[in-house]
Amino acid sequence: MNAPERALSFLLDEDNAEQKITYAADTKVSNAGTFTINKEDHTVANLFRMQLLRDPNVRFAGYIHPHPLIHRIDLKIQTTSSTVPPVDCLTAAIEDLAGETDHLIEQTTNAISKWKKENQAGMGQFQ
């Protein structure tokens, strides 16, 4: 009866003008801030965290997914110098991951067609 709409776990709540990403600079730590990404979970959060940690400009990167029923992640980033804002590091991380995914798509397409070519004899078409 009062259960929330299932789709609200991945669709933005437009009635309440929910934003996908918001940023809040840290008031106590320099070169740091928290990105709140709505309607995302470990799938992208951990991907971002691990990619950020490979960046030499990043001193700290971590996230929390507060609760399985709260569809939001808070990603905190601290950079090594004030000349590199956290948003730059996150943008670079996403760009790297997108490049990696593109590479993966190409690799997989080739691997699948190569496998099929080599093993076609044994592959019956099922209808």
Partner 1 sequence: MPNQRFPKIEILSIEQHEIKFILSETDTSVANSLRRIMIAEVPTLAIDLVEFAENTTVLNDEYIAHRLGLIPIRYTSPDTLRASDCNGAFLPHRECVCFERCPRCSVEFELDVNFDQTVKERSVPEHERTLPFTVTSADLVSNHNSVEPAHFLHADEEGNSHDQGISIVKIGPGQHLKLKAIARMGISKEHAKWCPVAVATYRFYPIITINEEACARLTLEQKQELVDVCPDRILELDEVSGKLTVSEYAWEIATYTEDLKVAQDAMKEKPEDDDFVTVEHSTDRFIFSVEGTGAMDVEEVLMSSMRVLKERLQYLSQQLEQIREI
Whose CA is closest to 33, among 79, 96, 73, 93? 79
Q: Does 84 bind partner 1 (CB under 8 A)?
A: no
Return the residue of 25, 29, 50, 64 that touches partner 1, per CB under 8 A.
Answer: 50
How many residues bind to partner 1 according to rule CB under 8 A?
Answer: 52
How many other CB atoms are found less than 10 A from the CB of residue 62?
Answer: 14
Q: Does 96 bind partner 1 (CB under 8 A)?
A: yes
CB 60 within 8 A of CB 77: yes
The span of 18-26, 60-68, 76-84 binding partner 1 (CB under 8 A) equals 18-26
Contact residues for 12 (Cβ-Cβ < 8 A; gap 6+): 18, 19, 20, 38, 39
Least distance in angstroms from the C-beta of 28 to partner 1? 21
Q: What are phi and psi of 76, to 5 degrees?
A: -105, 135
Q: Does 91 bind partner 1 (CB under 8 A)?
A: yes
Site of interaction with partner 1 (CB under 8 A): 6-7, 9-11, 20-23, 37, 40-44, 46-47, 49-51, 54-55, 87, 90-105, 107-109, 111-112, 114-116, 119, 123-126
